[in-house]
Amino acid sequence: MPEPSKSAKPNGNALIKVAAMADLHVQEDAQTSYRDLFGEMSREADILVLPGDLTNLGKPREAELLAEDLRACSIPVVAVLGNHDYESGCVEQIAETLRRAGVHLLDGQAVELNDVGFVGVKGFVGGFGPRMLGSFGEPAIKAMVAESVNEAMRLENAMRQVRAKRTLVILHYAPVLETVAGEPPEIFPFLGSSRLAETIDRFKVSAVVHGHAHRGSYEGQTPGGARVFNVAKHVTKPTGRPYALLEI
Ligand SMILES: [Fe+2]
Ligand SMILES: [Fe+2]
């Protein structure tokens, strides 16, 4: 597998600028081109972060179109996949296409760029706080909760790999309720899980970015005080652009 080609140089303790945008939902008909936006983000930031739902239906062609658009990006790209990227059962092919395009695609791993640790995992559903779904009853419910717990454990293992003093956690699903506010309350349990926040709060984390809640809110924090940003393309951000700019 070729190494990601866009390199980042260590810069000591200077803050780095991260452009982050989730839920690109690239479609086969190529009506969703991100070429100009990738160029713009390359001028504005040091690193580009894409927290999942990169494709609309998880089709290999959608990933190829995204890879073509990413040629306009001149900064390192770090990403995780989202639920939509799993839809067509071609996740391996999609991952391979993106890695070939130079993307640091994280799924329970960490990568260090510009002296910042980037930790990525997709996450899963399950709900928030005391109302989280518990492992009780039918095997299907238990399997669902087990998947949620498993994603939190994979995040923990990835966090333990980080040696950098600053860490950005990249998720697709939300770790807190605050940043899904704005979505219909009926679907809150399908937008993320507090189990992710419980894991995050066991570590020192500079910030967390996620997507998935298209109608959610931009900013929140974990119970332990880690900053959380919903960077779904559709969410209104201080930049006034589809992407967030964070200093880490
Ligand atoms: Fe999405
Ligand atoms: Fe999603």
* Among 224, 210, 175, 223, residue whose Cα is nearest residue 195: 175
What mean pLDDT is predicted for residues 6-18?
74
Nearest listed ligand to the Cα of residue 56: 1
Whether 83 shows a pLDDT value over 80: the answer reads yes
* Among 248, 188, 247, 245, residue whose Cα is nearest residue 41: 245
User: Ligand 1 center to residue 86 CA distance, Å?
Assistant: 12
Nearest listed ligand to the Cα of residue 232: 1
User: Ligand 2 center to residue 181 CA distance, Å?
Assistant: 15
User: Ligand 1 center to residue 165 CA distance, Å?
Assistant: 31
Nearest listed ligand to the Cα of residue 87: 2
To the question of domain 17-247 being in CATH 3.20.20.70, the answer is no
What pairing do the DSSP bridges indicate for beta strands 17-20 and 47-51? Answer: parallel
Q: pLDDT, tens digit, for every residue of 98-119?
A: 999 999 999 999 999 999 999 9
User: Ligand 1 center to residue 163 CA distance, Å?
Assistant: 31
Beta carbons of 94 and 60 less than 8 angstroms apart: yes
pLDDT at 32: 74
Q: pLDDT, tens digit, for every residue of 15-31?
A: 999 999 999 999 998 67
Nearest listed ligand to the Cα of residue 171: 2
What mean pLDDT is predicted for residues 154-166?
97
Q: What percent of the chain has pLDDT over 90?
A: 92
Distance CA 32, CA 79 (A): 18
Please, which residues have CB less than 5 A from ligand 2, an ion? Answer: 53, 82-83, 212
Nearest listed ligand to the Cα of residue 124: 2
What mean pLDDT is predicted for residues 36-54?
98
Q: What is the Rg, in whole angstroms, of the alpha carbon atoms belonging to the chain?
A: 17
Whether 10 shows a pLDDT value over 70: the answer reads no
This prediction has a pTM of 0.95
